[in-house]
Amino acid sequence: MRFTAMTRAQRGKLALTAAALGVGLLASGCGYTNSQQTTARYQASDGIIADLGPLQLRNILIVSAGEDQPGRLIGAVYNSSSQDVTLTVNGAEGSQTEVPVKANSSTLLNESSDEAILSTTGGIPGSLVDVRISEDGTNVSNTVKVPVLDTTLPEYKEYLPAGSTPAPTSASPSPSESEEAAGGDGH
């Protein structure tokens, strides 16, 4: 058997190749042990997702000032069928709104021309309320829990239904008010 001596340059190349191969194996192992987030479906915003026959509801939520106040449904509704469909949403105490969605199209409920108002929300802001959703294309219906949000987040202020009374914000009392409530004279 004949052995040939490696030069210093050859040993360096071999070490670099081995290091690169090792880093490649370590990096590919992370993908093996950790699932990819891009393959998992999740709700990326404050609203819910729901599928109903040919309709896909995305980021659906209700903006309202209170439980017994009107609430505006916002989000997007996609119609994958070749016919126009009407989405009906039934909320608390007989409140109802209808949303027409054209064939192979979408309707954005965030636009002022497509306001979908429920006469009463049925839940305080921060809660989930049961709403019955149905569509007239295949007559599929389902009950889903939809979040109720108020105008605490400024991006929802413009969606508060007209005539609603926003809930008062709870500000902390001034030092003199705190002392008076405690029986002090503020001095």
pLDDT digits (tens, 9 = 90+) for 164-178: 776 555 444 444 444
pLDDT at position 43: 56
Mean pLDDT of 65-77: 95
What tokens does 92 get?
Answer: 């608390």
Per-residue model confidence (pLDDT) at position 57:
96
Specify the pLDDT at position 170: 47
Average pLDDT for 113-125: 90
> Which DSSP letter does residue 169 get?
P
Pairing relationship of beta strands 71-79 and 116-118 according to DSSP bridges: antiparallel
Q: Which two tokens stand for residue 110?
A: 């965030």
Does the pTM exceed 0.85? Answer: no
Q: How far apart are CA 61 and CA 115, in angstroms?
A: 13
Which comes out higher in pLDDT, residue 42 or 69? Answer: 69
pLDDT at 158: 92
Q: Using a pLDDT cut of 90, give the percent of the chain over it.
A: 57
pLDDT tens digits for range 13-24 = 878 888 887 777
Q: What is the pLDDT of residue 31?
A: 58
* Element of type H or E holding 135: strand 128-135
